[in-house]
Every structure is written in structure tokens, then in C-alpha cells.
Structure 1
Amino acid sequence: MKLVLASNNAKKLAELQALFTPLGIALVTQGSLGIPEAEEPYDSFVENALAKARHAARLSGLPALADDSGLSVEALGGAPGVRSARYALDAGGEKTDAANNERLLRELAGVADRRGRFVCALVAVRSADDPEPLIAMGRWAGQILAAPSGEGGFGYDPLMFIPAAGRSVADLSAAEKNAISHRALAATDLIDQFREVWRLG
């Protein structure tokens, strides 16, 4: 079954494709079909993921899968949240992982409470007007480091220390990350729904 992934992020595509391959799902990015990115005007991960999935399904005529994810930091009231990818841009900086990480470290300078979590909302729709979207959530808790560690991953991975793993997310191998990440947790939930509701696998 072919699903349009409402993202052009190659690393996200690779993570999700690895997770959904056992169900016979083949993901194709919306960009490869000439579909522009959707607006993300909402304050929650679920609402933005649903908007992106419906947008991709509407313009492709295919079932669609969307991911909206980011970092939620306790001491910052849940920020950067849905603005995770644009956190530095919102403060007049560049829209890059490095700039986002730098802003986060500035915001947390001198802050003792370093609790944070990666949050992922995955939404799948059979069509743009699907009245029963599949919605799955994953949360991965950790601590925000005072300096980056590791060369892998993307986004805030170098700053998120996972106590159970004893390393930052960027220090984990791709296989390790895919087994325990927020996206993996959401995908596990979504796989169950794919099997039960869409009768896949």
C-alpha cells in the first residue's frame, strides 16, 4: 500500500519507512509528487498532523500519513513545542538545527529543571475527508544537556539525554533510536490501528 508522507524530511522518511515496512506500506514524500507543504497554524501536534495529512491526501488522491513532532520542555511551559523546527527563526535567527539548539541552551541557562520530552503525533487518513483518522501519540522523556553530545540523529537529538539509555539521542545508533523513540512509540500504536482498522499486514 502506498501512502504519501506529508513531509520532505529524508531522515524522518527513513525512520518511518523502516518502522512500517513490515505492513507492506511504501512511503513516498509529498515533495516527490510536487505537493507543497501545508500550513501548520495550530497549537497542538495532533491538529497540525491532521491538517498536514488531509492536505497531502487532497492533493495526491492517495492515503496519507503525517507526523508532527517536537520537543516539550517543562521549564519553558512546553516550548518549543509545535514551533520546534522554527524555534530560532521565531527569535530572529536561522531555521537550522544548530540555531534551534543554541536558542534552547540560552533559554535554559541557569535553569535547574532540565526535564523535557520528545512528542510525536502520527495521523493517517484514507482520504482528505476521512471521518475516522488514525491518531497515535508517542512521548519520550529525558533531560536537556548543557552542551551537545553525539553526531547522529537530527533536531534536538544532541541535547536530549535519555537516562534509561545513559546517552544522548544523538549518541544512539539509528537502530537503537528506532526501537525506543517517541516516533517508534507512536508508530507501534499506529501499526496496531493499521492492522485493526485498515486490515493491513
Structure 2
Amino acid sequence: MSHRKLEPGKLVVASHNKGKIREINELLRPYGFEVVSAADLDLPEPEENGLTFEDNAAIKAVAAAEAAGLPSLADDSGFCVEALGGDPGIYSARWAGPEKDFAMAMRTIEEKLSTLNADTREKRRGSFVAVLCLAWPDGHREFFRGEVDGDVIWPPRGTMGFGYDPMFKPDGRDRTFGEMTSDEKHGMSADTPPLSHRARAFKAFAEGCLEG
């Protein structure tokens, strides 16, 4: 499948989430873009009323591209717990409330798992999903998806990362995302494949739109 190439220049990261903006900036840095965020441009946050990660990523990317007249990259991501039917999923940010209290959101997940007697590893499986949408002012869009599976742990561990990172331990690792540095999660070198959902989506985006 061929993708439209993105030429170096100014690129809007369509987010007001400081953690996401920081991670995407770190991933974009080697490619020479002048990155500005939707927050930097004082763009309003559109209502994310889609039914999928792809829907919501597109809502944000298209709104920013149209408002700024520039290519725009948006991420929609979430934490999906198998025993909760995939929740919080696309509603991951909403579970944290208007104050973005992810400690509360993690407690909510643990309380729900406790009511289900989820006391074995098999009952405490989850995944992080990220979808990147790249939108141009002319309406063209590209989508890239990344996923990572692992265990939902309690109590949360680590103060790095953001969101639900402290309660997710990816398969094959003994530490949570909250205990890992950005470099460990990104793993973008040739001998270290990307680990996080966002880094995996970004690798597909870079291969499709930035390289070659």
C-alpha cells in the first residue's frame, strides 16, 4: 500500500495532552520537522465522539489541519482490559475525569477487576492501542495503528510515563511502562524494535510517510 509522503516543514501535533505531545515530539525529532501543538496554536479541542480509535484520531487531525492550514498528526490511544470487555478503551481519558486524574482511573479499573475476582494473570490481561492519523489541509488522511499486550498489575509502579503506564507491564518485561524511560519505550534503533503502542504506530507512520 502506497502512502503520501510528508515533506519536512511545519507539522501540527493535534493534542493538548502534554505527555502525548512530549512523546510525539521525541519521536519526530530525528526527522527535522518544526513541530507545534494544537495547544501552542490555541486551537479548540474538538469533541471526540467517534466509535473507534481511528474515528477520534481523524476528528482531531482533520480539525487541526483545517484550522492551521498545515499537515497535522493526531494520536488516539487507550488502555484496553480484556476482563472489562475492552474498557476503558476509547474512553480512557474520560475515565480520568476533567481533572485528568489517572490515579483515580487506575483505582477504578482495579475496583472493577476486584468485583470480577480477577486474581490470576489470565484474568488480568490488557493492551495499549494507539492510532495515528496524518491529515493534510486538502482532506487527505493516512492511518497507522500500534498495539502492545501485557499484564494489568496492582499496585501501580513507577513515576515515568503518563496515563495508565504505571499499571501495565508489557509481555517479556519485568517493569511497567511507568518504570521505563522514553528511550526504552520508543526503541526506534535498528537493533531495538519499538516497544510501546505509540512507538509501534509511529514506526509504521515513519516507514509509510517519512522514509524512502
TM-score by length of 1: 0.90
Contact 1:88 1:103 in 2 (8 A): no
**1:57 equivalent in alignment to 2:65:** yes
Structure 1 stretches of 4+ moved >3 Å:
none
Unaligned runs of 5+ in 1: none
- What's the counterpart of residue 28 of structure 1? 36
Partners of 1:30 and 1:128 in 2: how far apart? 18
Q: What is the deviation of 1:22?
A: 2.0
Aligned-partner residue type, residue 62 of structure 1: L
Q: What is the deviation of 1:30?
A: 0.8
Taking the TM superposition and a 5 Å limit, the aligned residue runs for 1:1-201 are 1-89=9-97, 95-109=100-114, 110-111=117-118, 112=120, 113-127=123-137, 129-130=139-140, 133-179=141-187, 180-195=195-210
Aligned-partner residue type, residue 186 of structure 1: A
TM-score by length of 2: 0.86
Contact 2:62 2:136 in 1 (8 A): no
Deviations 1:33-91 (A, max 9, x none): 120111100121011001110000111111101000010111111100010011143xx
Contact 1:55 1:128 in 2 (8 A): no
Q: What is the deviation of 1:146?
A: 2.1
Q: CA RMSD in A?
A: 1.6
Deviations 1:130-179 (A, max 9, x none): 2xx11100001110002111111111111001231211111111210122
Paired residue total:
192
SS of the residue 1:122 aligns to: strand
Contact 1:45 1:120 in 2 (8 A): yes
SS of the residue 1:31 aligns to: coil
Contact 1:41 1:48 in 2 (8 A): yes
Partners of 2:81 and 2:144 in 1: how far apart? 21
Distance 1:128 1:81, change over 3 A: farther
